[in-house]
Structure 1
Amino acid sequence: MNRWDDIYEVSLPLPFALKAIKSYVIRGSNGFTLIDTGLSYWQAHEAWEKARQEIGFDWTDVEKIVLTHYHPDHYGMAGMLQERCQAPVLMTETDYNQAALFFGRESDQPDRMARFYGEHGLPEEWTKQIPAHLRGFTKWVEPHPEPTFIQAGETIQLGDYSYEILHTPGHADGHVSFYDPARRLLIGGDFLLPKITPNISLWPECDPNPLDSYLTTLDKMKPLAVDRVFPSHGPVFEHYRERIQELMKHHGERLAEMKEWVTRKPLTATEVCFRIFGKNLSVHNLRFALSETLAHLEYLRQNGQIRRERKSGHWIYLT
């Protein structure tokens, strides 16, 4: 376990490709704050218990639980920990509503997602797997928390320091990061990662142009004076502006590549996806790969660089 003054890093295992999420525990005069929670499954429960003992606090010492966004590796254990700690869960209203959209037992979003992918050329052998796959996350996010809503522009006390709440969308519509201007540190969730590219995905009923939102976020955040970033995946890092530049360059190259392909030959999003990521994908990875491909294609289309047409029941992208 790593520690930076009042901030402790807690690595929580995940049962899929990312392998782990980094949560943070912040020590303060009035107790402890938890930033993101991991999935609610036994290995993560054990990791939290081990971390609690190593840091040296009781669950009743937790004064608040704060979430950067609704994705299950961040949100999943929030309800269970709220019951255990009797502490408020703070998150944005946008992401609480999206948690209900994706993981509510009565939601038809899994079926909508399957139809959405089918319209973009995904064969039935894949689309028929989507609803059950998405509903499989339900067990990892229950019970849902009863949240207190926070929003960008406010400040929040994390430990003994005051942080600015910054809206950093793209990866998730309501994603927030927490900035301490006095110490020039950023708790960034999945907004900015040191080694991997945050997934930027297009989903039904969500931001219709998430890549535009993300690139706008990168541009907006670049001037911020940040000496250290605490990310949700990968080690704490200091090359803040350089990493923003790398990600902007990456997306620019990916956009140019896709535009060239659909200029040469009209393609479905699935065909573009398989060119980039290959076909040897699990249903979990395929879902993210295709949604990220769609985010790039829709960015190009909505910025007038390409267009799309309906053909044989599928959307085709072309120039």
Structure 2
Amino acid sequence: MNRWDDVLEVRLPLPFALREIKAYLIRGSHGWTVVDAGLHHGLDIQAWEDVRNQEGFQWGDVEQIVLTHYHPDHYGLSGWLQQQTGAPVRLSSTDFEQAALFWDEASDQPETMADFYREHGLPTEWAAQIPGHLRGFKRWVEPHPEPTWIEAGETIRLGDHLYEVLHTPGHADGHLSFFDAERGWLIGGDFLLPKITPNISLWPGCDPNPLQTYLSTLERLKSLPVKRVFPAHGPMFEHYRERVEELQAHHWERLDTMSRWVGREPLTATDVCFRVFGENLSIHNLRFALSETLAHLEYLRLNGQIDREKADGHWRYRG
């Protein structure tokens, strides 16, 4: 377990490919701040109990729970933690709305996504697995918290230091990061990761051009004087600007590759996805791979670089 002054890294296990999420526990004179929660899963509850016992505090000593975004590995245990601590859960209103879109009992988003993927060439035997797969996450995100909103441009005290709330969308529409200008410390969630590229996905009912949004976010914040980044996946790192430029280059290269492919022959998003990521994917990984492929293809289409046409019930992209 790593510690930097008042910031403690908390490793929370995940029962899927990423293996773990890094949450952060921040010590202050008014109590402890939790940044991101993990899944409502026995292993994550045990990890939090172990940290609490190691650091010697009671649940009532937690003054707030702050979330970067709504994805289950960040949001899922927040309601449970709120029940234990009585502390407010703070996140963006956009991401709480999207948590409801994806995880509420009455939402038809799982069926909408299955139809969406099918239109983009996903075979029926794959698409039929999507609703059950998505609904399988519900057990990891309930109970939902009763949240308090925070917004970009505000200042929030985490521990004894003031952080600027930054809107860092692309990975999630309402994604927030927190910047301590005095120390140059950025608690970034999934905005910027040191070893893997944050997943940028196109989802029905969400940002219609998330890659444009993400690239704009990277450019807008490239000159932020960050000295240290605390990410949700991977180790703390200090090469902030270099990493921003690496991610920009990665997406420009992938856009160029996809543009050339569909310039040679019409392809569905599923065709392109399998070329990039291969076909030996779990349903979990396929969902992210296809949605990321769509984010790139729709970026190209909405920027006038490629077109698409529908035939036999499937969209095909062409140059």
TM-score by length of 1: 1.00
Find the residue that maps to 1:186 and give its secondary structure: strand
Unaligned runs of 5+ in 2: none
Residue 114 of structure 1 is matched in structure 2 by 114
2:114 maps to 1:123: no
Residue 104 of structure 1 is matched in structure 2 by 104
Matches within 5 A, 1:36-51: 36-51=36-51
Map Cα deviations across residues 227-286 of structure 1 (whole Å, 9 max, x no partner).
000000000000000000000000000000000000001000000000000110000000
One-letter amino acid of the counterpart of residue 172, structure 1: A
Residue 14 of structure 1 is matched in structure 2 by 14
Please state how far the C-alpha of 1:57 moved relative to its aligned partner: 1.3
Please state how far the C-alpha of 1:52 moved relative to its aligned partner: 1.1
Residue 143 of structure 1 is matched in structure 2 by 143
One-letter amino acid of the counterpart of residue 123, structure 2: P
One-letter amino acid of the counterpart of residue 66, structure 1: V
Aligned equivalents of 1:224 and 1:44: distance in 2? 33
2:54 maps to 1:54: yes
One-letter amino acid of the counterpart of residue 26, structure 1: I
Find the residue that maps to 2:260 and give its secondary structure: helix
Tell me how large the CA RMSD over aligned residues is: 0.4
Residue 314 of structure 1 is matched in structure 2 by 314
One-letter amino acid of the counterpart of residue 81, structure 1: L
One-letter amino acid of the counterpart of residue 316, structure 1: R
Residue 235 of structure 1 is matched in structure 2 by 235
Residue 244 of structure 2 is matched in structure 1 by 244
2:308 maps to 1:301: no
Equivalent pairs: percent with the same residue? 68
Residue 191 of structure 1 is matched in structure 2 by 191
Aligned equivalents of 1:126 and 1:51: distance in 2? 40
Aligned equivalents of 1:126 and 1:73: distance in 2? 24
Residue 64 of structure 1 is matched in structure 2 by 64
Matches within 5 A, 1:247-258: 247-258=247-258
One-letter amino acid of the counterpart of residue 277, structure 2: F
Residue 80 of structure 2 is matched in structure 1 by 80
Aligned equivalents of 2:284 and 2:55: distance in 1? 34
Map Cα deviations across residues 195-231 of structure 1 (whole Å, 9 max, x no partner).
0000000000000000000000000110000000000
TM-score by length of 2: 1.00
Please state how far the C-alpha of 1:54 moved relative to its aligned partner: 1.5
Unaligned runs of 5+ in 1: none
Map Cα deviations across residues 132-190 of structure 1 (whole Å, 9 max, x no partner).
00000000000000000010010001000110000000000000000000000000000
